Structure 1
Amino acid sequence: MNGKGKTGNTKLVKQMNREGILYQLRQHPRLSRAELSVRTKLSRPCVSSLVDEMIHEGLIHEVGAGESKGGRKPILLEYNVQAYTVVGAVFEGSELEMAIADLKGELLHSVHSRLNQPVNGDSALRALEFNLDKLLKKSGFDRDRVIGMGVGLPGITQKRSGTVSYAPSTGWMNLPVGREIEERLGIPVILDNDVNMMTLGEFYGGAGSGVSSLVYMYVGTGIGAGIIIDKQFYRGSKEAAGEIGYMLIGSQRSRKQDGFGLFEKNYSAAGICEKAAALGLVLDAERSVLQQLYQLDLKGSEEARTLLEDVYSSWASGIANTVSVLDPELLILSGEMVNLSEEGLQRIQQLLTEWVPVVPEIRLAFLRKRAGLLGAVHSVLEAFPSAQPGRSN
């Protein structure tokens, strides 16, 4: 028993030391073994042993000699961001976005596909498999160089267990979807809610960069939010935090119809299209509903003007409910909301000023569709910072 425990502890310590070295090389490119020893507080023999191991694996490479401080010139080391690769995938409605990235998190190639309706679990798995092969061919990477895949799905996901507990759009209910994808593709998978992935992307490389606490609000096929507090993602006790689409905003008659919440049933992009149709307005569901309403408003449509005011008021209600509880530093508006006119954004801010005591700074999402892919990639890099492909820790 004691022997096993020591072995386990030794492996854990070694893993942590490897991650410490890689972290320093990410933050400070071109360090010597001696400098790594100082920065990581590890002994020089320990650093040399781990560095040699990671050079052999391809994670680190030597890039020449540095300046001498009185003795032999030190050999400088660099993190090899091209050693392995990471894949990100995000489902939104009937669309699938996928990208392949290097170990720095920079997207190298991407593909987009539209899934045939109705979307189900099997068709989603087939799409992942087909597009992964497509990305590998485009990038020139072999499958055994893929560390893992981050997958964003609509619905309530349990990231820790890789389970989808509630995703009516794909039919995945209380299923170990993460394990199914791993078995199908042969690579480790990190599963999370699609809006959480988008939030992570904007936090790392978009409108949320440099902010400690934010709420990311997304309006698309559904309505959801991602929450970061003190630079930590907040998921809730059942990992269902941010499911603001279930707020009681809108007509009571459609509560949880088709698995969707009341707020999103009424004021998602699809919900707004239904309201427009009831007013005699014809909108194309494949285009921005806001932009179409603005065009009708310019032509003098009273119905479009009335619906726009209804949308502003209802979106502002959802925001007010959220920020009055969380008090974030920043609110990021995304999805259909990035199409808000200056007048529409000002109207929402005016309503918030009237309704809540403190209004956060509001920014439109910067990365748009790239946010989810970037977040999916970073979710893998966080989970497997020094892993070899095909092996989870």
Structure 2
Amino acid sequence: MQKGNSAYIKKINKQLVLKWIINEKSTSRASISKALSISKPTISAIVDQLLEEGWIYETGNGVSSTSGGRKPVNIKFNPKKAYIIGIDIGGTKIAIGITDLNGNVCGLIDFPTQQYLDGDIFTEIKIRVEALKKELQIDDSKILGMGVGVPGVVEVETGIVHEAPAMGWRDFPVGEKLHSQFAYPVYIDNDVNISVLGEHWKGVGIDKKNLVYIAIGTGIGSGIMINGELYRGSNNSAGEIGYMVTDREYARTYQPIFEGYGFLESVSGGSSIGSKLSARIGKEITAKDAFDLYVKNDKDAVEVVDFAIENLSLGIANYISLLDPELIVLGGGVSESYPVISRKMEDIISRFTPRKCEVVQTSFGKEAGVIGAVALFLKEYDSIYKI
């Protein structure tokens, strides 16, 4: 056997053993050997190495077999072996969190984006990260790296954001800016791409291999997972559902709600709903205000919101017909009103799809982007610990 092949096999075996320990919560060397069909001496050597490196720890003796003999020593995964920084850069706010290896958020802070956008926003991110590390008493030796979500089309390999209307960025070197501030490995992707990774890892999409996450906020975007892998497309812009056209007649005269925004987000996004109803009633209101009026059966609100819901539902129906996902998860500010609009959406979706697909609201709160960013890092970073 060639040396390279031998090293690769050792690494794969080490990954398999660690993954088994993580999934089993508590196990023993003998149980791992039996489950993975790897010899006891090999398992013992791998476990000893994982113990030495701090990935696992021993918890005491388990129960001996019916034939007696020495009691097995139980071992568990150590989620505090290292920590990951997750950053969710949004047009309204930037959320920064630090999680352990199990995705538990140890600390979370956020600050307004626009206040710092004209200055050095990355220096501000650095200041906030350092403050959070100090508060949690976590030093650099315990940080594996950083995952970052950005609201735009990202060239993952270089960290260049080709277009992010909410940030006013075009061909902007986010990766270079972050690497100038941090010595850790940094991975950057579109914010909805990281969201679908987060849902698959720790959210309502656990164990789903074909999954779509749709963020409905100021704009509308989606992240797509096919056969357990994130689908980015040939230009890293897959999932731009906000550009989908769902009304041929209205498409002839529509104007984007913001420059660079597509048809669907210009008729169903939060800003569209708020601005259209504002124009009708003659005063400035938000999408949340619009849904509050919708619940009260306000005539103008019902017309504006119903039009938005119909177009959004058609867009989702098209996704279901094309991709046949196991689950569609809705996130973003507008999704908070899903309990109010779910029946109407379900009726429209079921009318235009060949088979049923469950559509649910995300279970995450403000930590959603941070967990997604951490999931991105753990998915991309070359380590024995993979999610």
Say yes or no: does 1:207 pair with 2:204: yes
Q: Which moved more, 1:34-43 or 1:198-207?
A: 34-43
Contact 1:248/1:263 (8 A) holds in 2: yes
Contact 2:92/2:112 (8 A) holds in 1: yes
Say yes or no: does 1:323 pair with 2:323: no
Q: 1:145: Cα distance to partner?
A: 0.6
Map of 1:59 onto structure 2: 55
Matches of residues 1-393 of structure 1 in structure 2 within 5 Å? Answer: 8-69=4-65, 70-117=68-115, 119=117, 123-249=120-246, 252-255=253-256, 258-285=259-286, 289=287, 291-297=288-294, 301-340=298-337, 342=339, 344-384=341-381, 386=383
Q: Secondary structure at the match of 2:87?
A: strand
Q: 1:68: Cα distance to partner?
A: 4.0
Cα distance in 2 for partners of 1:31, 1:332 equals 34
Cα distance in 1 for partners of 2:338, 2:257 equals 30
Contact 1:283/1:292 (8 A) holds in 2: no
Q: Deviations over 1:196-233 (max 9, x none)?
A: 22222223333323434232211112211122233333
Q: Secondary structure at the match of 2:328?
A: strand
Cα distance in 1 for partners of 2:177, 2:26 equals 40
Q: Deviations over 1:346-383 (max 9, x none)?
A: 22222233333334222222213333222222222333
Cα distance in 2 for partners of 1:298, 1:17 equals 56
Q: 1:116: Cα distance to partner?
A: 2.9
Aligned CA-pair RMSD:
3.0
Q: Secondary structure at the match of 1:82?
A: helix
Contact 1:217/1:331 (8 A) holds in 2: yes
Contact 2:93/2:112 (8 A) holds in 1: yes
Q: Secondary structure at the match of 1:259?
A: coil
Consecutive unaligned residues of structure 2, counting only runs of 5 or more, are none
Percent of aligned positions with the same letter in both sequences? 31
Q: Deviations over 1:295-317 (max 9, x none)?
A: 33466643222212221222123
Contact 1:88/1:100 (8 A) holds in 2: yes
Q: 1:253: Cα distance to partner?
A: 5.0
Q: Which moved more, 1:60-69 or 1:248-257?
A: 248-257
Q: 1:126: Cα distance to partner?
A: 2.4
For normalisation by structure 1, the TM-score amounts to: 0.84
Aligned pair in 2 of structure 1 residues 128, 332: CA closer, same or farther (>3 Å)?
Answer: same
The code of the aligned residue for 1:311 comes to A
Contact 1:19/1:385 (8 A) holds in 2: no
Give the aligned length: 380
Contact 1:151/1:190 (8 A) holds in 2: yes
Q: Deviations over 1:44-64 (max 9, x none)?
A: 444333333332322222222
Q: 1:194: Cα distance to partner?
A: 0.8
The code of the aligned residue for 1:92 comes to G
